[in-house]
Chain A
Amino acid sequence: MTAITATAPPRRASWRPGRLRWFISDVAVLTGRSLARIIREPETLMDVTVQPLIFVLLFAYVFGGAIPLPGGGGYHEYLVGGMLGMGLAGTAPGTAVALVTDMSTGLIDRFRSLPMSRSAVLAGRSIADLLTQVIGTAVVAGAGLAIGWRVHSPAADVVAAFGLALLFAYAFTWTGACLGMVLRSPEAAQQIGFVLFLPLMFVSNAFVPTQGMPGWLQPVADWNPLSALAAASRHLFGNPDPAAAVHSWPMQHPELAVAGWSALLLVVFAPLAVHLYRRKSLS
């Protein structure tokens, strides 16, 4: 026993300086792992491709005609700003499902027995999800163009709109990551994700202007981060934006509101997810 205590070499010090480099390497490897799966099984992309496509068509041609816009403007142009947020936030349950699946197999034990970075599993997943969200955004934009959506603003504004949307999407992914750490089965993650995110999507101005909602519901919808994202996108694209007439801080400053919401989600849910991951994996 004494021989062991005497021989402990201080090797940890030598790999600490390379920590950031290894963290980046680990995240890259795990991002690659998630992307490799997508390439092998493209049907896993359904939630960012087929699903938003169906919603675009449903709202453009079924519900849209019955939804009047205060201040005028075409519903098809109005729709795309809302669809962006809805498509992006809709991937969070997928994040939860993927992580619950990982946690419930022995794979997490394998990762934990390796000298890799602890938080790389979550970071890798979030980055892979961000890349799928880029695909989802392209699908929504493509579908929008097909139904007659056009931008009427400088290129810089358009870039800013997509940038904000992806920033928010990345931050929102971490709520899914937390959910994935709390739940036990992929089925539960799927269902609870649906139950939580559906009201979030619809109690917003994503599809319907909030002006038509009951008075008590309006502030809820106006403070919904997805409303801010939709309003910011519409504003930056130069599309019809009835929310500009709503006297609520996030609707008056939608870009700031999206940035603020994103920062808040990141600051709260990213550390929380990492904490939950460490606690859960060290049972």
Chain B
Amino acid sequence: MQDLAIEAAGLVKSFGSTRALAGLDLAVPRGGILGLLGPNGAGKTTAVRVLATLARPDAGRARVLGADVVREAGEVREHIGLTGQYAALDDHLTGRANLIMVGRLGRLSRREARQRADKLLARFELAGAAGRAVKTYSGGMRRRLDLAASLIGSPEVLFLDEPTTGLDPRSRAVMWEIIRELAAGGTTLLLTTQYLDEADQLADRVAVIDTGRVVAEGTPGDLKAQVGDDRIELALPAGSDLAAAAAGVKAFAAGPVTTDAERLLVGAPVPARPGLTTEVVRALDTAGVEVTSISLRRPSLDDVFLTLTGHGAADQGSTRQDRHGAPGQTEG
């Protein structure tokens, strides 16, 4: 019998006509780190809100450390920490006052709250700004303080909703380091992210979520194996034979070949192997297909989605935009 820290079965939640969750199932063992991976609008935030007792599911049930998130919400709240996408802080108070307030409301004594606050401020490199109003903080500092606030009660289960979205690479690295430290300390973590890379770096299991349900689950390695190691992309000159190019690429592909007739693009997952690009170009040349440009890159969330769901990330525009800041995206 496995000891589960978080379990959800058949969660459904609608907002008007929008179905944010459509039968979500999740299971995270104690001390486990689950990455909930999906594009904007996939239902990640709603899932976290239901599990953290902020929203009531329309159907299905969920338990955190054995307590039902609806009927025993008070019990759940005693053991969880939550860091949302927007820093949940009082802008007018100092960083230290914010932490002490949250600590006190989280049932710490005055002395404990102060001690924990000072410890966390030091750990999160915020000691120097502890006495300043939060409204003077940078985005990265706010996120760090927000995470510190959700840790002040030493929660056993921590929910992190897109903890690094919009952060600069340096702040992102600091967040990753802290998250790893928490994981090493035995905290159960559920973190949502739009970045495959982030899930890969931090989570021991990843659940890919699309339109409110889990479409794939496994270790990051499992998922990437499904996507292929690298992704090749070709741009063709006007008037090219797209089908011939696709056929040429197919011989090397580790998964479905995609084409974009409008922009004359051909893409496919390929095994990571030196010299592959040259081989593809040679093969296409032999087949009489001209190529404007060729690039090889690591698989992105879009690729995972394409492979697992058969369609691209639902909210293309913002996903693309957000991905700009993602670290480790190696463009070939």
Contact = CB atoms under 8 A, between A and B. Distances in A.
Interface stretch (A106-114, A150-158, A172-180, A217-225): A106-114
Given A25-B104, A33-B90, A3 B82 contact: no
A109 B77 contact: no
Given A106-B88, A113-B54, A29 B101 contact: yes
A282 interface: yes
A11 B79 CA distance: 12
B77 A113 contact: yes
A113 B104 contact: no
Contact of B88 (A4, A110, A281): A110
B72 interface: yes
Interface in A1-46: 1-5, 7-9, 11-12, 15, 22, 25-26, 29-30, 32-33, 36-37, 40-41
A20 to B, nearest CB: 14
B133 A107 contact: no
Contact of A8 (B2, B72, B74): B72
Contact of B92 (A8, A40, A115): A40
A8 B71 CA distance: 12
Given A105-B88, A114-B105, A8 B93 contact: no
Interface residues on A, range: 35 or more
Interface in B63-95: 63, 66-68, 72, 74-75, 77-78, 80-82, 84-94
28 contacts: A1-B4, A5-B63, A8-B66, A9-B66, A11-B75, A15-B74, A29-B105, A33-B97, A33-B101, A36-B93, A36-B97, A40-B92, A40-B94, A106-B84, A106-B87, A107-B90, A108-B88, A110-B84, A110-B89, A110-B150, A113-B52, A113-B53, A113-B81, A114-B105, A115-B77, A116-B107, A120-B105, A282-B56
Given A4-B63, A108-B88, 14 more contacts: A3-B1, A4-B66, A8-B67, A12-B72, A12-B75, A40-B94, A106-B86, A106-B89, A110-B150, A113-B81, A115-B78, A115-B107, A281-B54, A283-B55
Interface of B: 1-4, 7, 9, 49, 52-56, 63, 66-68, 72, 74-75, 77-78, 80-82, 84-94, 97, 101-102, 104-107, 133, 149-150, 153
